[in-house]
Chain A
Amino acid sequence: MSIDQTTLPIVDVNHLTTTFATPRGPLTAVNDVSLTIQRGRSLGVVGESGSGKTVLSRSIIGLLPTFNVSQTGTAMVNGHQVIGVSNKQLREMWGSEVAMVFQDPMTALTPTKRVGEQIAESLRINLKMSRKDAKARAVELLRQVGIPSPERRAKAYPNQLSGGMRQRVMIAIAIACGPKFLVADEPTTGLDVTVQAQVLDLIGELRRESDLTLILVTHDLGVVATRTDDVAVMYAGRIVEQAPTKELFANVAMPYTKGLLDSTPRIDAPSHTRLTSIDGRPPDLVNPPKGCAFAPRCTMATEKCHEERPPLVASTLSANHLFACWYPLGGHAPATTPSEQQ
């Protein structure tokens, strides 16, 4: 009689809003976000600093501080409700079903514990392994994430490893208990390009081997383009465009997404190609603008954009291409308000 879990989306977020209480007033970091992720897919979440991409990914797995945070909406992950649930309940899911790879492995790892022990810890807690078995499995996991001489490295402290190695250790901890869903928050930011390629390849391999679902949070459009199935572009706490990766890059609808692409220097463009920058900077989320949040920086904005916020709608060209814009690019029909749709 139970619903077959495998056909349901592994992540189902509805009207999720996360607000932080700040001395200046409430700051809505994630504003009315809805999204679903099917099993085995990878979703790239892109945006600039402060766009809410990290808060969104952490909200989805319930990994937020308990003070000064209020949340509305729902988020279901692998059949568990995440919003408004105690940490004790979330702990049943953390580690064994969902796991996270943090941006800065130096601060995310315990500096005073050997990395082998840190991996073994979650095995002993979640899988109730014996000390000895957990230790052996930790070495095995280090080998799996491509760390040379894992027996020796298991005894190392985080500060004795390079940045790339530390990120591999983080990934080993994340996959230790066989999670179904992985959130990677800027996993390669701060790593050199050759090491970045190694780490992204590793995540790709793990996904193929164990059918992992992935949220990849990044500011790097190159990472998104080459490593994800779907993309969500965030701006000022909202998803402003979402589509399968190939569809998005082939037919951008939002002027903001276009602006991001045009301001990114490309290795395949000739030297001294003039970049088109986006003037200004993102709005203050304590006092967000009334209409479209991007309107103050948008070259195509009209009075309507400043007055009325466009809803996230499906394109008439492709049903799984969503955007929030009154004047979309690429031949998409403009967003319509619910009253106009009737």
Chain B
Amino acid sequence: MTTPLLSVKDLVVTYGRKRSAVQAVAGISFEVFEGETLGLVGESGCGKSTTGRAILQLEAITSGSVTFDGTDLTTLDREAMRQKRSELQMLFQDPISSLNPRRKISQIVAEPLAIWNRGDQASREQVVNDILLEVGIDPALAGDRYPREFSGGQCQRISIARSLVANPKLLVCDEMVSALDVSVQAQIINLLTDLKQKHNLTLLFIAHDLAVVKNVSDRVAVMYLGKMCEIGPSDLLYEKPLHPYTEALLSAALVPDPNVELNHTVLQGEPPSPLNPPSGCRFRTRCPKAQDRCAAEVPELRELAPGHQVACHFPNTTTYVTLQSSEH
């Protein structure tokens, strides 16, 4: 097994203090290997965005470690982290507001080069033009324009160009296609897939759309209320979910086909408040399989099959066993 590019261990992020303290991320561990795309899914408030921001040290980490390329980022001082940051870049949901409205496109994309003092004026211009062409924006036409003159999809392309210009190793994409129409969303997903190959990128792809995440990811991690529920290879996790929450999520997702039967196990209610999370397993209040043990004991993430981990006392293993035996 190759060593992971990014390794997150027992990450805890707390917002607020004392009585109003919320553990948005309550001790999660996962790894992202070089060249892979790890999808991170979950409903609003599950802590997926906080996780992404905490990896880039954009949120203060309460405890735990984030090891990137052999360095624990949580131990770095400000300047050392600043130096490291060119290797980790983030893409945001709202592409228009994440671009400075008063700067021209060429300035926006060139800014990382200026910050890192890479090359001279002429070589920077060349790099910017090349990367803009790569993301499908004509630098001759677009370079002197402002973000407001572009559509959401084009702004997302410009954001991608800006993030790639500093040659990062890891991209954290936070809901980067959720605000786009499907036809444009498909353009951006395809572009990202191509650029990932070409630039040898590693991706942490955070999104709530299960179909999008499955499409782009090699492995998928599912979060609920600040905890990791399940991590596994995309196709396997979607076909044979081990965690009852993953199962419920998947059954609620809609397929654009009127002949597919609607048989979702409708989860009752909504996630409880993270201010006062349930004891033991955090999903137990909505779980159809919950028993006494679930309230008493926090389930640890354990590996049930190579690469497929689950944090549940009563995982859906029966289907798993039959799946494995049928493969032999």
- Whether, in the assembled complex, B264 has its beta carbon less than 8 Å from a beta carbon of chain A, the answer is yes
Q: Which of A148, A201, A264, A275 contacts B256 (CB 8 A)?
A: A264
The complex places the Cα of A275 from the Cα of B211 at a distance, in Å, of 12
Cβ-based interface call for B212 (8 A): yes
Report yes or no: A271 in contact with B235, Cβ–Cβ below 8 A. Answer: yes
Please determine whether A267 and B211 come into contact, CB atoms closer than 8 angstroms: yes
**A132-140, A189-197, A304-312, A332-340: which lies at the B interface?**
A189-197
B269: contacting residue among A148, A259, A265, CB under 8 A: A148
Among B55-63, B244-252, B307-315, the stretch that binds chain A is B244-252
Instruction: Tell which of B2-10, B88-96, B179-187 binds the partner.
Output: B179-187
Given the interface contacts A192-B208, A259-B183, does A267 sit within 8 Å of B238 by beta carbon?
A: yes
Instruction: Specify which of B216, B252, B258 is in contact with A197 (CB 8 Å cutoff).
Output: B252
User: Is B190 in contact with A193, judged by CB distance below 8 angstroms?
Assistant: no
Residue of B nearest to A274 (CB): B190
| A263 close to B256 (CB less than 8 A) | no
A121-166, CB < 8 A from B: 148, 162-165
**8 cross-chain pairs, A with B, having the tightest CB-CB distances, nearest first:** A222-B254, A263-B186, A277-B186, A221-B256, A271-B234, A278-B183, A192-B43, A275-B186
Quick one: which of B182, B184, B214 contacts A264, CB cutoff 8 A?
Answer: B182
Asked if A12 CB lies within 8 Å of chain B CBs, one says no
What distance in Å separates the Cβ of B173 from its nearest Cβ neighbour in chain A?
Answer: 15
Question: Chain A: residues with CB nearer than 8 A to chain B?
Answer: 48-49, 148, 162-165, 192-198, 201, 219-226, 245-246, 249, 259-279, 281
Residues of chain B with a CB closer than 8 A to A264's CB: 182, 186, 211, 256
Q: B190's contact among A49, A164, A267, A277, by CB below 8 Å, is which?
A: A277
Closest Cβ of chain B to A244, distance in Å, is 9
Pick from B193, B253, B259: contact of A193, CB under 8 Å: B253
Q: Is the CB of A226 within 8 A of B262?
A: yes
Contact B182 A48 (CB under 8 A): yes
Q: A194-B249, A249-B257, A267-B253 are in contact. Are A275 and B190 (CB under 8 A)?
A: yes
List residues of chain A with CB within 8 A of the CB of B186.
262-265, 275-278
Q: Are B256 and A225 in contact (CB under 8 A)?
A: yes
Q: Hey, which chain B residues are within 8 Å of A265, CB to CB?
A: 185-186, 189, 209, 211-212, 214-215
A48-B181, A260-B183, A275-B215 known; A197-B266 Cβ under 8 A: yes
Given known A267-B238, A271-B218, A274-B190, contact A225–B258 (CB-CB < 8 A): yes
Q: Does B215 lie within 8 Å of A272, measured CB to CB? A: yes
Cα separation A194 to B182 with both chains bound (whole Å):
21
Chain B nearest CB: distance from A167 CB in Å? 11
Taking CB atoms, residues of chain A closer than 8 Å to B260 are: 225-226, 268
The answer to whether A226 touches B266 (Cβ under 8 A) is no
With A48-B181, A193-B249 as contacts: A224 and B266 at CB distance below 8 Å:
no
Given contacts A221-B256, A225-B254, A266-B256, contact A194 B248 (CB under 8 A): yes
Question: What are 9 of the A-B contact pairs (CB < 8 Å)?
Answer: A49-B181, A193-B253, A219-B181, A219-B182, A226-B260, A259-B183, A260-B183, A263-B182, A264-B211
What is B's interface to A at a CB cutoff of 8 Å? 43-44, 151, 153, 181-187, 189-190, 193, 208-212, 214-218, 234-235, 238, 248-250, 252-260, 262, 264, 266-267, 269-270
A277 to B253, CA, bound (A): 22
Evaluate contact between B217 and A271: CB separation under 8 angstroms. yes
- Complex Cα distance, B209 from A272, in Å, reads 15
* Docked CA distance A164–B262 (Å): 20
Q: How far is the CA of A279 from the CA of B190 in the complex (A)?
A: 12
CB distance from A251 to the nearest CB of B (A): 12
Contacts A265-B214, A273-B215; A223 near B254 (Cβ below 8 A): yes
Report how far A278 CA is from B186 CA in the complex, Å. 8
Q: Judge whether B249 and A263 touch: CB under 8 Å.
A: no
B146 to chain A, nearest CB (A): 18
The answer to whether B256 and A164 have CB atoms under 8 Å apart is no
Which chain B residue lies CB-closest to A281? B151
Q: What A residues does B266 contact at CB under 8 A?
A: 194, 197-198, 201
Nearest-CB distance from A133 to chain B (Å)?
30
Please give, as numbers and ranges, the residues of chain A lying within 8 Å of B254 by CB-CB distance. Answer: 220, 222-223, 225-226
- Are the C-beta atoms of B182 and A193 separated by less than 8 Å? no
- Chain B residues within an 8 Å CB radius of A259: 183
Min CB–CB distance B63 → chain A (angstroms): 28
**What residues of chain B lie closer than 8 Å to A266, measured between beta carbons?**
211, 255-256
- The CA of A90 and the CA of B259, in the complex, are separated in Å by 39
Collect the chain A residues with CB atoms within 8 Å of residue B187's CB: 277-279
Is B183's CB under 8 angstroms from A48's CB?
yes
Cα–Cα distance between A260 and B183 once the two chains are bound (Å): 6
- A55 to B171: give the CA distance in the assembly, Å: 38
Tell me how far the C-beta of B233 lies from the nearest C-beta in chain A, rounded to whole angstroms: 8
Q: Are A246 and B258 in contact (CB under 8 A)?
A: yes
Complex CA–CA separation, A60 to B258 (angstroms) = 26
**Residues on A with beta carbons closer than 8 Å to the beta carbon of B257:** 225, 249, 268
Tell me whether A267 and B214 are in contact in the complex, defined as CB-CB below 8 angstroms, given that A222-B253, A222-B255 are known contacts: yes
